[in-house]
Structure 1
Amino acid sequence: RGQGTVYTLAASAKAMGFELLVRELVSEGATVISSTAIRQLIAAGKVAEAAAMLGRSYSISGMVAHGNERGRLLGYPTANIELEDAHVAVPLGGVYAVRVIVNGQSYNGMANIGYNPTFGDVAKPRLETNIFDFTGDLYGQQLTAQFVQRIRGEVKFAGIEQLKQQLAQDKHDCEAALR
């Protein structure tokens, strides 16, 4: 919880018999690379900047759960991961270009994190991922979404047709970001 120092760690190491190795701080320009800085970037939706610090894309893994199957009706079926109990940093709500790992295979896709404000019936945030060029049943399977770029924030649309138009644009924008 950011309350210790190198000195308190050294004292704990001596008292508890473990080895402590202290490394020099690493920075990216004027920013010190730290878990706190990375979590702050993720929380702000700056996943590309977080990836630069991590040396890899930030990802969330989980079991695919049943949703309302609305994505399928809209022409963009989604694999849903509930985030309420996630012990991970959750990116700012919105749409992201993602790479999705399923059964060791990588696919491009788009993901939404949030509450589905257009429908207003989701009480807990969830990660909904539409996997491009994928068919199959993923319920109960492990999925990993690697966040590449934030495309836009979460929006409440006036109706289904406006949402469908935006989803088409989101897919186009995500495909461009993933090239």
Structure 2
Amino acid sequence: MSDLLDVPVTTLQGRATTLRELAGGGPALVVNVASKCGLTPQYSQLETLHEEFSPRGFTVVGVPCNQFMGQEPGSAEEIAEFCSATYGVTFPMTEKVEVNGEGAHPLFQQLTTAPDAAGEAGDVQWNFEKFLVDRDGSVVARFRPMIQPDAPEVRTAIEAVLPG
């Protein structure tokens, strides 16, 4: 298995990169996102986390996915415009990918091996599942979709991977 941070990804703008580069070498919260989901308002909280913790080397990375009831149907340009105009998103986003099944992106093939707080690993359950990756590329926490990005357990986990 390759290092999670060095898995090739493509930005929403079509540029080849890695999670390491997108995260600037620091910890990251990788989130599968969608524009037409009941959980879409989580974008606001994700942006707040990104703004608050980015001075300490933290990054939110959004990964659009259309596998859950077609809730991310747009083109890269439409997704970027929606996120920017509706939620003021400034954190990096990748191209739209699959997160489950045979076509799952290699990033999610690795992320989904990490268990959540109940000890369950495996497929992403829905849009806005969150994976906290430390600067060494280890998945240190996994938060299911209904857990809000600003929930105490998420904030505590982020604080734990940030430099003092």
TM-score (norm 2): 0.33
Give the number of the structure whose residues are more often strand, by fraction. 1
TM-score, with structure 1 as normaliser:
0.31
Structure of greater relative contact order (alpha carbons < 8 Å, 6+ residues apart): 2
> Which of the pair has more CA radius of gyration?
1
